[in-house]
Structure 1
Amino acid sequence: MDFSLSKEIDAPAAFVFQAVTDYERFETAAIARGVKVHRRGAQSDAAAGPIWDIRFLFHGKSLDLTLEVTDLVAPDHLVMAIAAKSFKGRAMCQLSPGETEVTEMTLSFMFEGQTLSGRLFLKALEVTKATMEQKIAKRMADFAQETESDYRTTV
């Protein structure tokens, strides 16, 4: 299962990249939503490939994931490997600077089942793909608005 979403942000790519790699901000937001988050290694080591163990409820079932930053090129992109018991995947955040101080942020997700239950789980997710995309688009819009606001306070 693959999908991709884009959003324009009124801020330079370097500033947006800094916001994208503000891991503590995302950890705090996830914890506020009831997600259990544990980062392995040093909190300040952004470029060394941080790894997170994550647990949350998904449709009433506990889902355990491991996220690992596998590729980080400032201010171009960030790639994370996603691993669960029955599936694996990849999430990529690509930043494309525009002519002015506008940056297009594209989030891409690719998942593949490792087991029969993983393939069935991903097939079930495909049924709700439109709803998932709407929720992610809303979170991207919130992120863009916060980032634009933060940028305006710095200039």
Structure 2
Amino acid sequence: MDISLSKEIDAPAAFVFQAVTDFERFEKVAIARGVKVHRRAAPSDAVAGPVWDVQFLFHGKALDLTLAVTDLMAPDHLVMSVLAKSFKGRAMCQLSPRETEKTQMTLSFMFEGQTLSGRLFLKALEVTKATMEQKIAKRMADFARETESAYRATV
């Protein structure tokens, strides 16, 4: 299953990249939403390699994931691997500078089943793909608004 969405943000790529790699902020947001998050690697946000164990309920089922930063190149992109018991995947955030002080942010998610139950789980998600894309688009818009406000406060 693949999902890809884009959003233009009214801030320079370097500033947006800082916001995208503010891992502590994302950890706090996830915990506030009831997600259990445990960072296994040293708390250095500037290098590839942090790893998290994440547990949450998804459609009433407990889901345990391991997320790891596999590639980090400022201010261009961030790639994370996603590993679960029955599927694996990759999440990528690509930042492309646009006109003066604007950045195009593209989020891409790619998942593949490792077991029969994983393939069935991902097939079931295909049915809700449009709803998931709407939710991700809303979160991207919220992130863009917050990042733009933070950037304007520094100018």
Normalised by the length of structure 1, the TM-score is 0.98
Confirm whether residue 62 of structure 1 aligns to residue 71 of structure 2.
no
Query: How far apart in 2 are the matches of 1:48 and 1:93?
Result: 14
RMSD: 0.7
Query: How far apart in 1 are the matches of 2:49 and 2:143?
Result: 23
User: 1:104 Cα shift?
Assistant: 0.3
2:22 and 2:45 in contact (8 A); partners too? no
User: 1:148 Cα shift?
Assistant: 0.2
Residue 142 of structure 1: aligned partner? 142
Confirm whether residue 80 of structure 1 aligns to residue 80 of structure 2.
yes
Residue 120 of structure 1: aligned partner? 120
Deviating runs (4+, > 2 A) in structure 1?
Answer: none
Aligned residues: 155
Other structure's SS at 2:5 match: strand
Structure 2 unpaired stretches of 5+: none
Structure 1 unpaired stretches of 5+: none
Query: How far apart in 2 are the matches of 1:50 and 1:2?
Result: 24
Q: Percent identity?
A: 86
Query: How far apart in 2 are the matches of 1:45 and 1:137?
Result: 25
Normalised by the length of structure 2, the TM-score is 0.98
User: 1:119 Cα shift?
Assistant: 0.1
